Chain A
Amino acid sequence: MMRATRGWWAAALLGCAGTAWAHHSFAMFDQTQRLSLHGTVHQFQWTNPHSWIYLDVPGSNGAADSWQIELNSPNNLKRQGWQSDELKAGDKVTVVINPLRDGRKGGLFVSVTLPNGTVVGDPTRRGNAPINLPSVK
């Protein structure tokens, strides 16, 4: 399991400072904001290069909104203790995300509260420090 500790390189997690490489920047997410979504898992994609949760969240008009949440890769999640069936369609969960900047219904995974009450976070994150952004002085 990779665990972030302190230092300039915290921003380099998943890549992008110094001589690190990632497959994409997380600049599309507003990592200063957190949003808590209560809903039902529609689909859990255990796929590279990133896993995804499609979550149905009751909207204001009664109909469900579909939210898309991007997670780490299955490789990293596996080493953090996840299984490919960690989430199943129909699971009632709460997912905390950093929302997309453009206002669409999606975001970057922060943590999930499973149906049994267990909270699973992302150990590569510490506090509110943003991850995976290029380091530009």
Chain B
Amino acid sequence: MNVRTALRSLAAGALLLAAVGAANTRAADITGSAGAAAAAGATNASFPKGHYAELDALPDWGGVWTRTFPKGPRPQLPLLKGKYLQDFQAWQRAVKANHGEAPHSGSYCRPPGMPGIMAIFQYPIEFLFTPGRVTINQEAWMQRRVIFTDGRPHPADLDPTFNGDSIGRWQADTLVVDTVGIKPVVQIGPGMGHSDQLHIVEHIHLTGNDPDTLVDEMTLYDPLALQQPWTTTVTYQRSRNEQLLEFICEENDRNSGDPNDSGFGR
């Protein structure tokens, strides 16, 4: 199966998921008329004018959100298989042999991509709601991730990217996101690769007992790289009075991509 065929089949699966989910959605379906128009094939659903009043029905995710440090037992890592497991084991050996220095290629100013963009410590994210889409800004590397909520499917001719292609829908107060098309260079964890069949489903919502805690429950599906789907939960704490700061990594990037270059002596 080539990349394009794989992505098409994933896109079709995602559409099916979205359709099943939509039937169960009870409230706050902001795909609204744009989604209906797309379903009817009437018009291009992109960037509809208006619909701002509908955003008031969405949950309050204002402010910025910083990942909290996990508590309790160490979580289970993804169970890799095949060449992905072998590559990971080789990476572990290399790290152990070099005081914990991981082999790398390219500039460290390269951002992590999905799912890493959702799991960065110390640098907050924010959510921007506009009609037909949710935009996530991550302070580190000044990343932007777009989740289309206007009812569109994944493109059939998707070109892989760092953050992949994300489509979402509101299921009550939970944003359910489906992501495919993530570049091979992106790692799902340190030293962990993935195949072109990587498919991530997220459920992002406030926790019931604390209005200032948000969780992103992520499940990674990859039949070629994972022994079984891997689920992890990232938790964030809200700060209403902070804002994202500028982060220009190229300002003082000392990492040439040469593993022997420490960045010192400039």
Q: Which residues from chain A sit less than 8 Å from chain B, CB to CB?
A: 2, 4-5, 7-9, 12-21, 23-28, 45, 47-50, 52, 68, 70, 73-76, 78-79, 100-102, 104, 106, 124, 133-137
Contact = CB atoms under 8 A, between A and B. Distances in A.
Contacts of A14: 121-122
Contact of B249 (A25, A49, A133, A136): A49
A70 B262 CA distance: 11
Interface in B60-110: 66, 69-71, 74-75, 77, 92, 95-96, 98-102, 104, 108-109
Please report whether the interface of chain B is mostly helix, strand, loop or mixed according to DSSP.
Answer: loop
A48 B242 CA distance: 19
Interface residues of B, number: 50
Contact of A101 (B95, B99, B119, B123): B99
B101 to A, nearest CB: 4
B112 interface: yes
Nearest to A18: B75
B121 A23 contact: no
A136 B122 contact: no
B190 A134 contact: yes
A136 B95 contact: yes
Interface in B217-266: 232, 234, 242, 245-249, 251-253, 255, 262-266
Contact of B122 (A8, A27, A76): A76
Contacts of B262: 28, 100, 102, 104, 106
A124 B262 CA distance: 22
A2 B100 contact: no
Given A28-B262, A102-B262, A21 B247 contact: no
A53 B225 CA distance: 43
The 7 closest A-B pairs by CB, nearest first: A27-B101, A47-B252, A133-B100, A21-B112, A27-B100, A19-B119, A23-B108
Nearest to A106: B264
Please report whether the interface of chain A is mostly helix, strand, loop or mixed according to DSSP.
Answer: loop
A16 B115 CA distance: 14
24 contacts: A7-B69, A7-B71, A9-B69, A12-B69, A14-B121, A18-B70, A21-B120, A23-B108, A23-B109, A23-B141, A24-B108, A27-B102, A28-B99, A45-B252, A48-B246, A48-B249, A48-B252, A68-B264, A74-B245, A75-B139, A78-B245, A100-B262, A134-B100, A135-B190
B32 interface: no
A66 to B, nearest CB: 10
B70 A106 contact: no
Given A7-B69, A47-B252, A134 B102 contact: yes
